[in-house]
Each structure stands twice: as C-alpha cells, then as structure tokens.
Structure 1
C-alpha cells in the first residue's frame, strides 16, 4: 500500500498556493453509511488530482472508514470531491495539517485535472485568481484560531 501511495504521489502534480483556498469539509460516510453532518471551514494549502493538503485548528480522525467531502470554489466552479484523511501533521501554533487522498472516478478526475491545469497556468503567470475562494485574513482567522 505504501509503495502504491508513493507511486501516486509521483504521478500526480500538485498546485501549491501562496494564499490558501477557503473551503468546507463535512463527513460524508462512516463505514459506507451516508452521514448528514454540518460543514466547517478549512484552508487548502495545495491540491492535485490525487488529493490535497489542508490546515485546520480542529482534530480530524485519520481513519480509512471515514470519508470526507470537500467543497472548493475554483475558477468559477464549485468542486465537490470525497476523500480519506491519510495523515495528520502537527504544524505550528497548535494547528494541524492533513493529507487527503481523493476517491473519485476517472471522469471526475479528468475534469479536476483540466481545472487544476488552468489554475496552475494562472498562478505561473502571476494572475489574480478571480472567482475562486481565496482565503481572506478574516477567513484564515476563523479557520485557524
């Protein structure tokens, strides 16, 4: 399993964000049972077709039976993806960072790749990301206090 995850890391590119994306997370399923839970704000630090890294002041479980759902606004599109939290890292000032592996079919992954390629081009050309949920200072305080 570990070798497969390392291989996936090499196959999938990541878009690293200087300013995080203000996104929402909710629990989608536990043990394959659909859950209706409220959402909370998180700050997405990087994202790729295979997963993302986010920061939060909340403790989330690293457990392969809990599927989380992420809502991310990128380039005028709201992306909804499910994934598993696969690692937790104590970051700074008691904040935690979480690594997430997405669970999605190839069609949805292809759509995400197209959006992420456009995002990467805009960031490389130092263009401001309009119609994306870039965290404001107020968002970051709310997510990370």
Structure 2
C-alpha cells in the first residue's frame, strides 16, 4: 500500500510539542456536506500556523474529500482547527498524520501569534529563538 510522502519544504516554523498536547478529533464534512461523528482523542506532536502532526489509533485515508475538526487547548485558549490529511504513516497500531489546516488568513495570523506566545512560555530564556520567530512571523504577515 502506498501513502503520500511527507512534504519536503515548509512555509512555517513547526514547533515540536513536549509533552504532546491532547486534542479531540472528529470528521467535520464529507464531500463538502456536514456530518456528525464522535470525537476521539489524538496526540498533537508538532504544530505550525499551517499544519499539524498528530497521532491516533484511527486510520483515515489520505484523500481530500473529507475535512477534520481538531479541538484543543493551548495557553488556556480553546482552538477549533479544521484540516485535511496530507500524509499518513503507520507504526504498529498507531497512525501518524500530517494535517494541513484549512483557515482564513486572520485565523492563521492568530494561530501564529498564539504559537509564538506558547514558545515564549516554554523556553523564556531563549531570546534568540524568539527574535527569529518574530522576524519570520512579520515576514509571513507582510507577504499576504
């Protein structure tokens, strides 16, 4: 069975979340039509303003006809993110997914700011990293 390969280039800085955050995943829509599905826990191991890497016991196809909703909390902020599966790998009975976020420009900028604040909270002594992230955030903001 073939799976899509992981993308090589990245548009945004991806943060490795240690420890991973726990979120709730459900299928939001199929072929553009809303559906009701039960929520299932997922581990969010990496996060960027444009995507996530998650782990789950659920096996989803790597196709674009359905949309996921992932609810999570970061820095006491409740997020509801929509996304599509870009790739999948399997490790024993656990699946790892690359999820591209489906969001407006305003949502992406807010998530960028929240991730920067999160980075500051977990490693406050690393000013060089914070300056780099701030510079990249400004350059991405000015590109759009």
TM range (shorter): 0.7 to 0.9
TM-score if structure 1 supplies the norm length? 0.77
> Which segments of 5 or more consecutive residues in structure 1 lack a partner in the other structure?
127-145
Deviation at 1:6, TM superposition (A): 4.9
Three-state SS of the structure 2 residue aligned to 1:85 is: strand
1:100 corresponds to which residue?
Answer: 99
2:118 equivalent in structure 1: 119
* Bigger shift: residues 11-20 or 106-115: 11-20
Question: Once the two structures are superposed, what CA deviation does each residue of 1:5-55 show, in whole Å capped at 9, x if it has no partner?
Answer: 655x1x211110121101000101100001111110000001110100011
What is the rounded CA distance, in whole Å, between the counterparts of 1:53 and 1:123 in structure 2?
Answer: 19
Please list, as runs of the form range in 1=range in 2, the aligned pairs for 1:18-33 lying within 5 A after superposition. 18-33=18-33
Q: Distance in 2 between matches of 1:101 and 1:109?
A: 12
Structure 1 counterpart of 2:139: none
Where relative contact order (Cα < 8 A, 6+ residues apart) is larger, the structure is: 1
Q: Which residue of 1 aligns with 2:72?
A: 72
Larger radius of gyration: 2
More displaced, 117-126 or 26-35?
A: 117-126
Report the TM-score when normalising by structure 2: 0.78
What is the rounded CA distance, in whole Å, between the counterparts of 1:64 and 1:6 in structure 2? Answer: 19
How much has 1:94 moved relative to structure 2?
Answer: 2.5
